[in-house]
Chain A
């Protein structure tokens, strides 16, 4: 039979334990292009599919550095180079007075980097995604745990993959159309 190409196969589980067990199984079976969908963060699941490393921290570090340097540079340039004024006999470059602003700028830079870095890496906002086509997927944000093996995976074949998933006896297996 010939059918329209699908995004992948989606297996729905009752408990996190079953999901993690299934994810591990699929990973051991050599599948890589797959993902789990859970109503709350589940570290085990991420580990099971080998996705527990990310570059958010690096981005935040960069953001912090930019903020810090930028803040101090602004203060120095303004107070010493661009428009130096004698304020109460204090030195033009009164560095202790410049620390608070520098600090705040660093924190600001880091925080912005953290949030927008995370969103960018996650490819959000993303108005459309195939997994939402799976009928019961609304419960992914409520009380159900999903494992989706994507058709892009070299080992993917509707029949074999379905067999494999059935071996983890999920509540239901659905084909996810594009």
Chain B
């Protein structure tokens, strides 16, 4: 039985580690996972992390308050660089969300059993990431108190409506739909586990709470049957959805005339990048989690390896996209596209571009090696690097393209301010806070699906 701080033993060459540790039964699976939630003893590290996050969250609120009080001028944005950190962070966070949906939906459709033990918190990660992302488009507007509802098709006295040709409106619909669907998907996944918590709760209060959340689930065959159908259909819906969301986000740029934005291959490029950073984030969460809660039997090296492989694959697509970006710029022989390429390579922000290449293309190549893929801490480091790189990618796209467009006299620089930074870091705090609260009160691993993974779960003829 796994315990806190247990060291992973790498299996001999050629043998793939199992997706669930040996010697587990229905009971042990249930108790181990439900135990995290039902235990009376809140772990010390949990209290420490949450305290830290609350502090950061406070700073975040201060910054946002000041922003609403003064205006977006406290940021580094200007003319020509009308979008800065806010949009960079928006794209970054929303991208991170994608891996969650991918794991829970697409891998489900592909019947990838190993997804089971990580899909629950991957979905939570999606929801929390989308929450962070959703903040920015609102905060970055000049008059958020109006944007908050003018962007939705609400009948107003003036009789004006949103302008549906604008990609920003597509964004509103895509992101809000994405959040809703992810939330539903996550929510119904939780129902049977709530029932389980209800039944194994030790105190009346806890039982009542989970009882309400479980909505009287009793595991009837008829219910399971409809439940499975709905779950599969949601997965089928979430799959095109997740692809559409980042495509739409990419259209925010592709629809414009700005050299460096105005390209047709942005949608696949962005989706690949999103999944890339998403898996990096899954690993950044899973590796400490399985270590701190001794979940090595449920989140095994197999899972880490598979995530590593997926990162490697998506990473290659991203690398190809970078190459194409440059190639098309050169191939177009358009003076503005050429200038854009030149600016990437030699412009005032070119060092950002080279760092991006390093983080997103060169370093991740190490994932070709099994030794990296199956050593959690190494994998963790690579994930951090990749997420840094993905943030840089968005910075390069947003800032470097705007900074020098058509009329040379209007070119300008962008310098971020401390308020930019406070709000960016603040969202990390907010995100981590939500995540830790989640693993304290909800089963971070889908219990009922874990059960069905056990050998004894099969019906023998």
A interface with B by C-beta (< 8 Å): 15-17, 20, 35-46, 49, 51-52, 54, 56-57, 60, 71, 74-75, 78-79, 82-83, 85, 87-88, 90, 94, 97-98, 100-101, 103-105, 107-108, 110-112, 114-115, 117-119, 121-122, 124-129, 131-132, 137-143
Closest to B191 in A: A124
Report the bound CA distance from A51 to B248 in whole Å.
41
**Which residues of A have CB within 8 Å of B164?**
75, 78-79, 97-98, 101
B158-211 contacts to A (CB < 8 Å): 159-165, 167, 169-170, 173-174, 177, 180-181, 184-185, 187-188, 192, 195-196, 198-200
- Is B223 in contact with chain A by the CB < 8 A criterion? yes
Closest to A61 in B: B233
| Number of A-B contacts defined by CB within 8 Å | 199
Contact, CB under 8 Å: A114 / B233: yes
Report the bound CA distance from A122 to B227 in whole Å.
9
21 pairs from A and B in contact (CB 8 Å cutoff): A37-B218, A51-B222, A54-B222, A57-B233, A60-B233, A83-B161, A90-B165, A101-B164, A108-B177, A111-B184, A111-B237, A112-B184, A114-B234, A118-B188, A118-B230, A121-B226, A122-B226, A141-B199, A142-B26, A142-B200, A143-B25
| 4 tightest Cβ-Cβ pairs between the two chains A and B | A143-B26, A125-B215, A118-B230, A126-B216
Report the bound CA distance from A88 to B165 in whole Å.
10
Pick out which of these stretches binds chain A: B14-22, B117-125, B453-461. Answer: B453-461
Known contacts A82-B159, A125-B216; can you find 17 more A-B pairs with CB under 8 A? A35-B221, A35-B222, A37-B221, A40-B448, A52-B225, A74-B153, A83-B160, A83-B161, A94-B165, A104-B244, A112-B180, A115-B234, A118-B188, A138-B199, A139-B199, A142-B26, A142-B27
- Which secondary structure dominates chain A's binding surface? helix
**Which residues of B have CB within 8 Å of A118?**
188, 226-227, 229-230
Q: Given A46-B224, A107-B237, A143-B26, answer yes or no on A131-B161 (Cβ-Cβ < 8 Å).
A: no
Contact, CB under 8 Å: B165 / A131: no
**Which residues of A have CB within 8 Å of B459?**
16-17, 20, 42, 44
